[in-house]
């Protein structure tokens, strides 16, 4: 773990290094659609698209926590109401699926819809049908954001789908690989702790910046 601490300076450094492993000519010529799976991913994606002017979109989603453990995520729902469930945790905690679906609907109505109106002024998620899509995030502890985004985008039948992420756990890399055409990454880490550990400076992305980035990159 120690050898990986602070391996990246900030998101700008991560974007610069990612562009060394992403096939930038294809990214530019085929006008890949960049989709951020978090606020940090949106900031990172904007740094990638700044050079090539690819379209940038954010997919809003919300975690569903265990009923008796507010720190344990057992599922996640996207703005198109696609749900990814951690079957092992649901079984271990003996959680009813009615609870998962009920919470998914509540989170969509109370949280996700407010994000759509606040950050996109009510505009729905762009169609990814027949597009080449690259999902972007600044890190991935469990893979749940990427899995939820994959389920959402794959349902729209894209032409191809990639992932770009600076750091991720080895087991998450192995989990995601079968679902995508390729994963572009800088470091896979066996004993992954949390994304912020691997950056010297990982600034919080404020609401105003999200609105600005989505408006500028429509």
Provide the number of structural domains found in the chain.
2
For the segment 12-63, what is each residue's pLDDT rounded down to a tens digit?
999 999 999 999 999 999 999 999 999 999 999 999 998 888 999 999 999 9
Which CATH number is 211's domain given?
3.40.50.2020
Please indicate whether residue 110 or residue 216 has the higher confidence score (pLDDT): 110
Same structural domain for residues 66 and 28? no
Mean pLDDT of the chain: 94
Same structural domain for residues 132 and 195? yes
Same structural domain for residues 82 and 101? yes
Least confident piece of the model among 29-38, 138-147, 177-186, 208-217: 208-217
DSSP 127: P
Same structural domain for residues 85 and 36? no
Same structural domain for residues 183 and 206? yes
DSSP-based three-state secondary structure for 39: helix
**Per-residue pLDDT band at 68 (split at 50, 70, 90):** confident
The parent domain of residue 99 ranges over 62-120
Same structural domain for residues 34 and 71? no
What's this model's pTM, rounded to 2 decimal places? 0.95
Report the pLDDT value the prediction gives residue 214, as an integer from 0 to 100: 87
Helix, strand and coil in the chain, % to nearest 5: 45, 25, 35
Whether residue 1 is predicted with pLDDT greater than 50 in this model: the reply is no
């Amino acid at each position: 773990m120690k050898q990986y601490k602070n391996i990246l300076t900030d998101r700008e450094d991560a974007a610069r290094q990612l562009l060394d492993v992403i096939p930038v000519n294809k990214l530019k010529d085929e006008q890949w659609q960049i989709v951020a799976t978090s606020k940090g991913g949106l900031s990172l994606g904007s740094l990638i698209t700044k050079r090539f002017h690819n379209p940038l979109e954010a997919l809003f989603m919300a975690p569903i926590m265990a009923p008796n453990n507010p720190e344990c995520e057992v599922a996640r729902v996207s703005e198109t109401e696609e749900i990814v469930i951690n079957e092992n945790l649901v079984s271990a905690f003996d959680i009813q699926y009615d609870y998962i679906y009920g919470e998914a609907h509540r989170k969509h109505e109370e949280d996700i819809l407010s994000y759509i109106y606040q950050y996109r002024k009510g505009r729905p998620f762009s169609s990814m049908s027949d597009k080449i899509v690259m999902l972007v995030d600044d890190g991935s502890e469990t893979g749940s954001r990427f899995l939820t985004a994959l389920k959402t985008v794959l349902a729209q039948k894209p032409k191809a789908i990639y992932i770009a992420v600076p750091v991720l756990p080895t087991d998450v890399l192995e989990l995601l690989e079968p679902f995508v055409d390729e994963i572009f990454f800088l470091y896979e880490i066996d004993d992954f702790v949390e994304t912020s550990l691997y950056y010297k400076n990982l600034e919080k992305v404020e609401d105003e910046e999200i609105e600005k980035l989505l408006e500028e990159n429509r």
